[in-house]
Amino acid sequence: MDENKEFLASENEAESTNTDTTSETTENTAELTEPTENNEDTLLNTEEVSDSVVIKMAPAPKKNKKLLQLPIIIGIVIVAAAAITLFVIKAFFDTSIVGTWIETVPLTSDTSSSDEAANFDVYYTFNNDGTLDYTVGTMSWNGTYTVSADDSGNQTLEMVLNGSQTSCNYTVSGNMFTGRTLELSTSSSTTKVDLKSGSVVKPELKVDKDFKANDKVTGTWTYDNGYAKMTYKFNDDGTVEINQSDSIKAEGTYLIKNNTIIIKYYYTDEVEMDVAYSVESNGLKLNDILYTKDDDSAKTTAAVTEAATETATTSAK
């Protein structure tokens, strides 16, 4: 009996000890499980460290971008090379006749004269569309041209100007830095003509200080009989433009004096032309030829006149 009591007592003590141990273990587990401020900081630090690790361990940029950029770089290089090639060809090896060429012509038959004042410049402008502009002073003639080459490489230029046709051989030499030269020659003559590349320079014509605009004259006036067409455009700034069948054009100034319009323009020197005029109910008579006003010109003049009238009325009020 005593042994049984001792055995039971031992079992009770053991259970008590196990219970206490279990309780302590549970409390410790709870303490570990329950977050504390220090634990939160630890978790945050852990997350930061984790993020930093992720950043440091981030993979390098994909090489695909470099592969995509390579064709672009190659394209730019090709375009740049093509542009440079075209520039070199244009600058040093351009044998095209297209452009403006200047011929200096003496006023007299004495070609040995070195007096620059006795010379005048003639401008040949060969356009891409096969048209030709021949300019002297403020006058210009419109024509056409064609170029061709034979099997030997000889180049031929044919010009049709003012109803006249001219054929000659030509060569282009020089470059854009030292200047280009167009040499014209014919098989029937040993004389060669050299033209220098350049641009058209027209003489400056000053409007007369006594000029006053006249609304009855200002505008574009045309005479057209079906065979010939003549147009005068009198601008309100004192300049005039004359056009004959789109083949001959002239720029100048004009002055209205009594019953005359005095027109000045340049050919090899200043030229003055007097045109008798009268205002008719159905147009403007110039040298006894009746010119009618273009519709657009009439509308523009009417609008200007109306605007001027409204301005004067407003100012009066």
Q: Go through 66-83 and write b for each residue having 16 or more CB atoms within 10 A of its CB, e for each that does not.
A: eeeeeeeeeeeeeeeeee
Residue 250: per-residue pLDDT: 97
pLDDT at 254: 98
Token pair in block for residue 36: 């504390």
Position 88 scores a pLDDT of 55
Contact 230, 222 (CB under 8 A): yes
Choose among 301, 216, 207: nearest CA to 254: 207
Count CA atoms within 13 Å of residue 173 on its CB side: 6
Place of tokens 């009066």: 316
Q: How far apart are CA 298 and CA 234, in angstroms?
A: 12
Q: Which two tokens stand for residue 45?
A: 């630090």
- State the 10-residue block means of pLDDT for the chain, 317 residues long: 47 48 45 45 44 49 58 74 63 74 82 61 96 96 94 89 90 82 84 92 93 95 93 97 95 96 95 96 95 72 49 49
What is this structure's pTM?
A: 0.64
**3-state helix/strand/coil string of the chain:** CHHHHHHHHHHHHHHHHHHHHHHHHHHHHHHHHCCCHHHHHHHHHHHHHHHHHHHHCCCCCCCHHHHHHHHHHHHHHHHHHHHHHHHHHHHHCCCCCCEEEEEEEECCCCCCCCCHHHEEEEEEEECCCCEEEEEECCEEEEEEEEEEECCCCCEEEEEEECCEEEEEEEEEEEECCCEEEEEEEECCEEEEEEEEEECCCCCCCCCCCCCCCCCCCCEEEEEECCCCEEEEEECCCCEEEEEECCCEEEEEEEEEECCEEEEEEECCCEEEEEEEEEEECCEEEECCEEEEECHHHHHHHHHHHHHHHHHHHHHHC
> Are the beta carbons of 193 and 182 closer than 8 angstroms?
no
Q: What residues have CB less than 8 Å from 92, skipping those under 6 apart?
A: 175, 176
> Tokens 């021949």 identify what position?
134
